[in-house]
Chains A and B, each alone.
Chain A
């Protein structure tokens, strides 16, 4: 993947290089998926979206993007070494920073990306309180995701001050469709992690699942 990216510096439109990089990313994602290494799957999923946009010529492999993708390789290399050496995976600031910018390339136009990147201030380590509302799609469990695992991941980011589940949408027993999700959650999380780390927990469930994350001043904003 790295060799392909380096070749893009001289031939940014090389279909051969782009396809090779895409295949490499896809292979890493598939392997991580088999091993259930969510951190790598989440990262390579976004990386793959960016590479796909490159292949479709929706965005251009300029020096800035190539540097970002090379940074992505570093992130993946570190994560893979954690797995191969059977060490716990630690999500550092670099993971979140690179992922965040990759997401913008995956979703937005390049000019919009550069604007957003330019105005973003570096993160500080101050303590934040986040209010997170999770309203999953009814078929979330069928996609292999489990809301409880997402809540568990959230708790890894700091201290869960409060969590409430809402059963109001639960139908009567006879009408219940057993594999659907009817619950929703509100969580109050105290954390020193940046907002993008909280967003990262929901990488796989953004889409049609409603996830609202707000930084609040104090716990009174829970409701």
Chain B
């Protein structure tokens, strides 16, 4: 089960499965967040349990949408980082 919450205008927490089954939910939830127009935004991925290519694409597109320099992905679980390395996609989460 995917959960997307914002804690104020500058912190987003994503937990659960960011996989194809939840892809539309993730996309819509991120699009609906009320976020700060300026300043840093931290996306806390601590509670993420699984992520496939669809989740990666949504998060990368979201980061580009807000301005890559403003958005930081935090606390990516090690097992997901390992999977991303396998697909050469860890670079997008640094």
Q: Show the binding face of A for B, using Cβ within 8 Å.
A: 141-142, 146-148, 151-152, 155, 160, 162-165, 167, 170-174, 176, 178-183, 185
Query: Taking CB as reference atom, which chain B residue is nearest A149?
Result: B52
Q: List 5 A-B contacts (CB under 8 A).
A: A146-B52, A163-B87, A170-B57, A178-B58, A179-B24
Q: Which of B5-13, B37-45, B59-67 contacts A (4 or more CB under 8 A)?
A: B59-67
Q: In the assembled complex, how far is the CB of residue A128 from the closest CB belonging to chain B, in whole angstroms?
A: 20
B57 neighbours in A (Cβ, 8 Å): 167, 170, 176, 178, 181-183
CB distance from B46 to the nearest CB of A (A): 21
In the assembled complex, how far is the CB of residue B81 from the closest CB belonging to chain A, in whole angstroms?
A: 13
Top 7 closest A-B pairs, CB basis? A173-B65, A178-B23, A163-B88, A178-B27, A173-B61, A141-B20, A165-B88
A172 partner residues in chain B, CB cutoff 8 A: 61, 64-65
- Asked whether A185 lies within 8 Å of B87 as measured between CB atoms, the reply is yes
Task: Please tell me if the beta carbons of A148 and B86 are within 8 angstroms of each other in the complex.
Answer: yes
A147 to B83, CA, bound (A): 11
Smallest CB gap from A171: residue in B: B61
CA distance A181 to B52 in the complex (A): 10
Rounded to whole angstroms, the CA-CA distance of A18 and B79 in the bound complex is 47
Are B24's CB and A178's CB within 8 A? yes
B60/A170 in contact, CB under 8 A: yes
Of B20, B23, B31, B89, the contact of A165 (CB 8 Å cutoff): B89
Please report which residues of chain B, range 46-88, place their CB below 8 angstroms from some CB of chain A when the two chains form the complex.
52-54, 56-58, 60-62, 64-65, 83, 86-88
Number of interface residues of B (CB under 8 A): 24
Please, which residues of chain B bring their CB within 8 A of the CB of A164?
88
**CB-CB < 8 A to B54: which residues of A?**
141, 178-181
Asked whether A179 lies within 8 Å of B23 as measured between CB atoms, the reply is: yes
Nearest CB in chain B: distance from A182 CB, A: 6
7 extra A-B contacts, CB within 8 A, seeds A146-B52, A171-B61 = A141-B20, A141-B53, A165-B88, A173-B30, A176-B27, A181-B57, A185-B87
How far is B89's CA from A162's CA once the two chains are assembled, in angstroms?
A: 12
Chain A residues, Cβ within 8 Å of B65: 172-174
